[in-house]
Homo-oligomer: A and B are copies of this chain.
């Protein structure tokens, strides 16, 4: 499974004429968007292709024209939402600044990305459906999880080496600090819907950074 190219943005479109039938690309994107929100909301099995079609404003048969099977649609949905984000995430590891500054930057970026409804629903989707899509799971794990964790582990190790942080298991620490963000995103798309008042995402991140960074800070 190749996550390194996006199916989005492929074919720069004209689409000038007002009453023209929407181009294939536009239809494609509309279907992806509709499918994404339904997959997130109901899961793969409980999402009917007819509902996807309805939400996208087309007929049932049209979905099949664009995606040969339901599983192909699901795969496309995941790929298109994941790829752009991953690419931008890795760039941040190599930005200038102290390890601590770059950790803050990376976490802020990831947290910010997960606020975007087009990205924040992905972890819930992956966690829920991964059991029935082994290939997709493997790809996601290698290209997304591994790479984000590596980036974070690298930064922590750099901080330890620089004496900014005390000696901790950098891999576990990276996992811990990222898990909270991901769990937060998953929460918002599952049980969080039943919470009387929404969590303040900004305060959540700041508290997280505060506690974590103090927790790994070098002793005075």
Contacts and interface: CB of A to CB of B under 8 A. Distances in A.
Interface of A: 41-46, 124, 126-132, 134, 137-138, 140-141, 145, 168-169, 172-173, 175-176, 179-180, 182-184, 186-187, 190-191, 193-195, 199, 203-204, 207-208, 210-216, 220
A182 B131 CA distance: 18
Given A43-B129, A46-B132, A215-B214, A179 B187 contact: yes
A184 B179 contact: yes
Given A130-B193, A179-B184, 7 more contacts: A41-B131, A46-B131, A46-B132, A128-B190, A145-B191, A176-B211, A214-B215
A204 B210 CA distance: 20
Contacts of A176: 180, 204, 207-208, 211
A211 B172 CA distance: 11
A193 B133 CA distance: 12
30 contacts: A41-B131, A43-B45, A43-B129, A44-B45, A45-B46, A126-B191, A127-B186, A128-B190, A130-B193, A131-B190, A137-B190, A141-B194, A172-B203, A175-B199, A175-B204, A176-B204, A176-B207, A179-B180, A179-B183, A180-B180, A180-B183, A183-B183, A186-B186, A210-B215, A211-B212, A211-B216, A212-B215, A213-B215, A214-B214, A214-B216
